[in-house]
């Protein structure tokens, strides 16, 4: 298997045998409301195991095995991952959900002790979403003899953004992911795009270290008000939740402002230099609003690329307003980065980027991100990114993988970047 990142549509069934009425009922409900869709095969039991030996004793099916790694406190976002895995492997495959609160990825003063642990509810949700087994090991099972002396280093990407705010965090993430990949032996592993940097470093690790697994990213699930689903949302009081909505609002403001600029550039490309003459003529006629519009088009035609700076400014304005609320939002970072290495992009950048934000509201730290495409209206960018996501809900689907369930295949030697782009 390659370490390519495929982004399936969580609401598009990938096997012909699934009852599609369940998916229709789910898509009609708001995220987090109602009950998850039933599993593909509700007749077989869901195995709850706590040791690697017991997991090995779970009968393995002939099809592919998918794993969804979680720290428990499962919610509709996790259910979406499980359903995506279920559809991808089909009724002949197997879905394993891991529930393990990994101490290595919590820093000093973080919420390891108070992190919610709701195993009974987690098993129920996993079963309803289509899991075949839940692997909930103890700390001693994953780290026999105590913390490991040898860990996997996340490299330069692991020192940026989340890595800078939480030193050593991604080393802990990669170490446990590597161990769980060995223990569960999957063909595919599913992760949410809400943790974009985590998804990127895991994908890079799988490619660089030749793990025989395909890393699959699934789009962020949001509640009706836009807040990205997270196990930490339950810590928020009602006023804190209201303030926390600024994270998604900032991202959407950047997306909308960029879309407006790109639309203006498309108009400018079709009008060309005639826009400036039209602006002057309209101004002479007293048509001020029309003249201003024509002037904006002319400016877009002649002006430099500044999409990234516009997107940053739109997002930052929302976050600055939220810093004056009661309770206030305390910004950790707002970053517009290249998805291949998570370094900040320049103002002349064209292509796909990730706008990421992290902030604290009260004592709760939250993260969110959105994918943006710069230069989408220009022919060269459109050619380079044809089929790419241009909004938060947009996804790309591999036609070959959406046509039928996958079966295990030999690993590829082609290294790929965090978004599946060959390096």
Of the listed 26, 47, 78, 385, which one is catalytic? 78
3-state per-residue secondary structure call for 113-133? CCCCCCHHHHHHHHHHHCCCE
Cα angle, residue 376 at apex, residues 375 and 381 outer, rounded to 5°: 70
Backbone angles phi, psi at 96, to 5 degrees: -110, 130
- Is 73 labelled a binding residue? yes
Q: The tokens of 340 are what?
A: 């291949």
- Is 105 labelled a binding residue? yes
Here the contacts of 108-116 (C-beta below 8 Å, separation 24 or greater) are: 110/166, 111/232, 115/71, 115/72, 115/73, 115/231, 116/72, 116/73, 116/231, 116/234
- Is 230 labelled a binding residue? yes
Q: The tokens of 171 are what?
A: 């080393």
3-state per-residue secondary structure call for 274-335? HHHHHHHHHHHCCCHHHHHHHHHHHHHHHCCCCHHHHHHHHHHHHHHHHCCCCCCEEEEEEE
Which candidate, 44, 77, 42, places its Cα nearest to that of 58? 44
- Is 75 labelled a binding residue? yes
- Is 77 labelled a binding residue? yes
- Is 71 labelled a binding residue? yes
Q: How far apart are CA 219 and CA 191, in angstroms?
A: 9
- Is 6 labelled a binding residue? no
- Is 229 labelled a binding residue? yes
- Is 232 labelled a binding residue? yes
- Is 192 labelled a binding residue? yes
307-322 helix and 238-271 helix, angle to the nearest 10 degrees: 160
- Is 221 labelled a binding residue? yes
Contacts of 153 (CB under 8 A, 6+ apart): 171, 174
- Is 1 labelled a binding residue? no
- Annotated catalytic, 182? no
Backbone angles phi, psi at 68, to 5 degrees: -120, 115
- Is 76 labelled a binding residue? yes
Give yes or no for a contact between 45 and 130, defined as CB atoms under 8 angstroms apart.
no
DSSP 140: H
Residue list, annotated binding site for (R)-pantoate = 105, 198
Residue list, annotated binding site for ATP = 71-78, 192-195, 221, 229-232
Catalytic residues: 78
Residue list, annotated binding site for beta-alanine = 105
Residue list, annotated binding site = 71-78, 105, 192-195, 198, 221, 229-232
């Amino acid at each position: 298997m390659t370490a390519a990142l495929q982004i399936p549509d969580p609401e598009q069934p990938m096997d012909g045998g699934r009852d599609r009425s369940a998916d229709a009922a789910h898509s009609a409900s708001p995220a987090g409301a109602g009950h998850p869709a039933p599993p593909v095969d509700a007749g077989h039991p869901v195995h709850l195991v706590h040791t690697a030996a017991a997991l090995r004793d779970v009968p393995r099916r002939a099809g592919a095995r998918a794993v969804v790694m979680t720290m428990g406190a499962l919610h509709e976002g996790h259910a979406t991952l499980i359903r995506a895995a279920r559809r991808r492997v089909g009724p002949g495959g197997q879905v394993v959900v891991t529930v393990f609160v990994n101490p290595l990825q919590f820093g000093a003063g973080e919420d390891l002790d108070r992190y919610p642990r709701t195993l009974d509810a987690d098993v129920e949700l996993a079963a309803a979403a289509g899991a075949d087994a839940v692997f909930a090991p103890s700390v001693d099972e994953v780290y026999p003899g105590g913390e490991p002396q040898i860990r996997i280093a996340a490299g330069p990407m692991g020192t940026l953004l989340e890595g800078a705010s939480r030193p050593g965090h991604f080393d802990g993430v990669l170490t446990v992911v590597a161990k769980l990949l060995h223990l569960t032996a999957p063909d595919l592993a599913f992760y949410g795009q809400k943790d974009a940097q985590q998804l990127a470093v895991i994908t890079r690790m799988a490619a660089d270290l030749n793990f025989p697994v395909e890393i699959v990213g699934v789009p962020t699930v949001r509640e009706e008000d836009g807040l990205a689903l997270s196990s930490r949302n339950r810590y928020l009081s009602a006023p804190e939740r209201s303030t926390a909505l600024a994270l998604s609002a900032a991202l959407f403001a950047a997306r909308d402002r960029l879309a407006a600029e790109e639309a203006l550039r498309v108009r400018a490309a079709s009008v060309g230099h005639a826009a400036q003459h039209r602006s002057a003529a309209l101004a002479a006629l007293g048509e001020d609003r029309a003249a201003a519009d024509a002037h904006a088009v002319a400016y877009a035609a002649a002006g430099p690329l500044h999409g990234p700076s516009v997107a940053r400014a739109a997002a930052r304005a929302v976050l600055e307003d939220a810093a004056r609320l009661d309770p206030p939002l305390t910004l950790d970072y707002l970053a517009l980065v290249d998805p291949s290495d998570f370094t900040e992009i320049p103002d002349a950048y064209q292509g796909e980027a990730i706008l990421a934000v992290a902030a604290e509201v009260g004592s709760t730290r939250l993260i969110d991100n959105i994918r943006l495409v710069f230069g989408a209206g220009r022919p060269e960018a459109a050619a380079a990114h044809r089929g790419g996501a241009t909004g938060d809900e947009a996804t790309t689907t591999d036609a070959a993988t959406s046509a039928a369930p996958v079966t295990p295949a030999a690993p590829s030697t082609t290294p790929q970047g965090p978004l599946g782009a060959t390096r």
